[in-house]
Chain A
Amino acid sequence: MRAQEGTARRYAKGLHMAATEAGAGEAAGRELAAFFDGLQVNRGALEILARPWIKPTDRRAAALALAEKSGCGKLVRDFVALVAQRGRLDHLEAIVAAYRDLIDADLGQARAQVRSAVALTDAEKAQLTRHLQAALGKQIILEESVDTNLLGGFVAQVGSLILDGSLDGQLARMHERLVRG
Chain B
Amino acid sequence: MRRAIASACFLAGLLPAVASASGGGDGGLISLDKSLIIQVFNFLILLFLLTKLLYKPLLAKMDERTQAIQKSLDEAQAARALAQKERDDFAAKIQAANAEAQRIRAEALKDAADEQRRLVDAAKAEAARLVANARQEMDQDVRRARQELRQEVADLAIAVSERLIKKSLNDADHRRVVDDAIARMGQKN
- Whether B185 and A131, one on each chain, are in contact in the complex, defined by CB atoms closer than 8 angstroms, is yes
A179 to B158, CA, bound (A): 11
Are B177 and A153 in contact (CB-based, < 8 A)? Answer: yes
Q: B146 CB to closest chain A CB, in angstroms?
A: 8
Contact B171 A118 (CB under 8 A): yes
Given A118-B171, A151-B166, A181-B150: A128 touches B189 (CB 8 Å cut-off) = no
Check if A171 sits within 8 Å of B181, measured CB to CB. no
B165 located at the interface, meaning its Cβ lies under 8 Å from any Cβ of chain A in the complex: yes
A178-B154, A179-B154 in contact; A167/B182 too (CB < 8 A)?
no
Q: Which of B14-56 contact A (CB under 8 A)?
A: none
Docked Cα-Cα span, A48 to B43, in Å, equals 181
Contact call B169/A152, Cβ cutoff below 8 A: yes
CB of B155 within 8 A of CB of A131, answer no
The answer to whether the Cβ of A107 comes within 8 Å of any Cβ in the partner chain is no
Please give me the residue from chain B that is nearest to A172 by CB atom. Answer: B158
Given A135-B185, A152-B173, A179-B151 in contact, is the A165-B178 Cβ separation under 8 Å?
yes
> Would you list which residues of chain A between 135 and 175 have a CB under 8 Å from chain B?
135, 151-154, 163, 165-167, 171-172, 174-175
Q: B150 to A178, Cβ gap below 8 A?
A: yes
Kindly state the separation between the CA atoms of A163 and B182 in the bound complex, as whole angstroms. Answer: 10
A120 to B186, CA, bound (A): 17
| A4 interface residue per 8 A CB criterion | no
Overall SS of chain B's interface: helix
Contact B174 A152 (CB under 8 A): yes
Contact between chains at A151 and B162 (CB < 8 Å): yes
Bound CA–CA A166/B182 (angstroms):
10
A85 contacts chain B at the CB level, 8 A cutoff: no
Expressed in whole angstroms, the Cα–Cα distance for A121 and B180 within the complex equals 14
Identify A153's interface contact among B150, B171, B181, CB under 8 A.
Answer: B181
Q: In the complex, what's the smallest C-beta–C-beta distance from A106 to chain B, in angstroms?
A: 25
A124–B150 Cα distance when bound, in Å, is 38
Q: How close is B152's CB to chain A, nearest CB, in angstroms? A: 10
Partner pick for B178 among A124, A132, A163, A180, CB 8 A cutoff: A124
Complex CA gap A130/B105 in Å reads 99
CA distance A118 to B177 in the complex (A): 11
Q: A86 CA to B155 CA in the complex, in Å?
A: 50
Q: Provide the A99-131 mask, 1 if CB < 8 A to any CB of B, else 0.
A: 000000000000000001110110010011001
Q: How far is the CB of B160 from chain A (nearest CB, A)?
A: 11
Known contacts A118-B171, A179-B150: A165-B182 contact under CB 8 Å: yes
- A128 is contacted by which of B151, B161, B180, B182 (Cβ under 8 Å)? B182
Q: Check if B112 is an interface residue, CB within 8 A of chain A.
A: no
8 closest Cβ contacts across the A-B interface? A165-B181, A178-B154, A152-B177, A153-B177, A118-B174, A131-B185, A134-B189, A175-B158
Q: Which A positions have Cβ atoms within 8 angstroms of B?
A: 116-118, 120-121, 124, 127-128, 131-132, 134-135, 151-154, 163, 165-167, 171-172, 174-175, 178-181
A-B contact pairs, 29 of them (CB 8 A): A117-B174, A117-B177, A118-B175, A118-B178, A121-B175, A124-B175, A127-B186, A128-B182, A131-B182, A131-B185, A131-B189, A132-B185, A135-B185, A151-B169, A152-B165, A152-B169, A153-B181, A154-B178, A165-B178, A165-B182, A171-B158, A171-B161, A172-B158, A174-B154, A174-B157, A175-B154, A178-B158, A179-B154, A181-B146
